[in-house]
Structure 1
Amino acid sequence: MLRELHLTGDPAADKLLNDDPFALLVGMLLDQQFPMEHAFAGPRKIADRMDGFDLHKIAATDIEKFVELCVTPPAIHRYGGSMGRRVHGLAQHIIENYDGKTENLWTAGKPKPDGAEVLKRLKALPGFGEQKAKIFLAMLGKQRGVEPKGWREAAGSYGDRGSRRSIADVVDAKTLGEVRAFKKEAKAAAKAAPA
C-alpha cells in the first residue's frame, strides 16, 4: 500500500519525498545524529539551492561546489560537509550501478529481487550500514508499497507490524512522538546495562 509520507512537518519537503525515490533515499542517508524530520527535509534544502532535485545534476556537480551548497546555512545536516560528500557519492553510485534510477535498487533483475537481495543492495550504498538499510527496507514495505518476498524478515524488528522503532513507522506527529519515546527508552536501557 502506498502511503503518503508525512515525515518533516513541511508539506513541500514531504511532497519531494513522495515524488522522488532518490530524495527519500537521501533523507535516510542523512538520518543519523540529527533529528529525523530535519534529516528528511535535507533534500528540499538541496532542491532549493540547485533549482530542483535531480540525482544526475548532483552527481555532475563539482564535489567541492556541492559540499559548499550543503554547508550553507541552514546546512543540510549538523555534519554538512561529510554528509554532502556522501550524498554526492550516493548519486554517483545510483548512476553507475542502477542506470540512474533509484527504484532499480528494489525492482531490477531477473528474478525480481527478494527482501534479502534488496537489503544487500541497500547495505552496499555509500553511507548505509546494516541498521540504516533495514530501516529503509521497512519504510519501503510499510509506507511505499514495495514488498519484495521476505522483506519483513530481512528488515528484522523494523519490519514488525505496529512497531514504533524508526522513521519507517512515522506517519504523523503522534507516531513521530512515539518513535522518539521508543528511541529515548532504548538509549536509557543501553546506558543502564552493565558493561
Structure 2
Amino acid sequence: MTRKVCLAQNPEADELLADDMFALLLGMLLDQQIPLEKAFSGPKVLADRLGALSPQVIADADPEGFAAVMAAPPAVHRFPGSMAKRVQALAQAVVEEYGGDVSRMWADGDGAVVLKRLKALPGFGEQKARIFLALLGKQFGVQPDGWREAAGAYGEDGSRRSVADVVDQKSLLEVRAFKKAAKAAVKNG
C-alpha cells in the first residue's frame, strides 16, 4: 500500500491503519479520553496480542478473556474493561451488519447515508461519525456525493480540527492547538 498515515505517529501502527480499514475504525472508536496516538496505536497492539486483527475473532472472543487482552500492560486504553465491551460490540456489528467487511458501509450511498451507517455503530455518536467520515474523505479517498456536507465542519478543506486533519507531526500539533483553543473558548464563554 502506498498510502501514508500518521495517526499513531508509529510506523508499524500507521502501516496497519493504512492497510486495514477495520483497524482504522477501531482506532476511531478508541479515540476518547486518551491521546489520539495511543488510540490509533491500539489496533496494532491488539493485532500483536491476538495474532491477527479480525472482526470475527474479536466478536467471537470470550468477553473476560478479551478484556484481559485489552488490560494487559501496557493497557490498550485508559479504561480497558469498558472499552473491551465497546470494541467487541463494534466487531459484532461489523460482522452482523456488513459480513465482517467495514468497507461495505461506504461502498454505496451518499454522504448522508454513510454518516447514518456510521452513527448506528456501537460507540459512534454524531461527532465521532462525522470525524470518521471526514477522515475517510480526506485521507482515504472515500468520497461519496455530499461527504463534506455530511461531515460538517470536519470536512472543511484545510481545517485543523480533528484526527481527519492529522497527516504529520506538525498537523497533529495544529489540531491539538485548535482543540485547546476551543475548550478555552467554551470555558471562558
Q: Could you state the TM-score of these two structures normalised by the residue count of structure 2?
A: 0.97
Partner of 2:99: 99
**Which residue of the other structure, out of 171, 174, 188, is the alignment partner of 2:184?**
188
Matched residue SS, 2:102: coil
**Correspondence 1:172 to 2:168:** yes
Distance 2:109 2:66 in 1: 33
Partner of 2:137: 141
Extract unaligned runs of 5+ from structure 2. Answer: none
Q: CA deviation at 1:3?
A: 4.4
Q: For residues 94-133 of structure 1, what are the structure 2 equivalents within 5 Å?
A: 94-107=94-107, 112-133=108-129
Matched residue SS, 1:168: helix
Distance 1:52 1:12 in 2: 14
Partner of 1:47: 47
* Number of residues of Structure 1 aligned to a counterpart in Structure 2: 188
Larger CA deviation: 58-67 vs 122-131: 58-67
Q: CA deviation at 1:9?
A: 1.5
Letter in 2 for 1:166: S
Per-residue CA shift, 1:90-149, capped at 9, x if unaligned? 010001001110100101xxxx21000000000000000000000000000000000000
Extract unaligned runs of 5+ from structure 1. Answer: none
* Coordinate RMSD, CA, aligned: 0.9
Q: Is the 8 A contact 1:3 1:145 kept in 2?
A: no
Partner of 2:23: 23
Q: For residues 5-16 of structure 1, what are the structure 2 equivalents within 5 Å?
A: 5-16=5-16
Matched residue SS, 2:106: helix
Q: CA deviation at 1:54?
A: 1.4
Partner of 2:59: 59
Larger CA deviation: 47-56 vs 138-147: 47-56
Partner of 1:77: 77
Distance 2:3 2:182 in 1: 27
Q: Could you state the TM-score of these two structures normalised by the residue count of structure 1?
A: 0.94
Per-residue CA shift, 1:25-69, capped at 9, x if unaligned? 000001011101110000011111101211111111111111110
Letter in 2 for 1:97: E
4+ aligned runs moved over 4 Å, structure 1: none
Matched residue SS, 2:75: coil
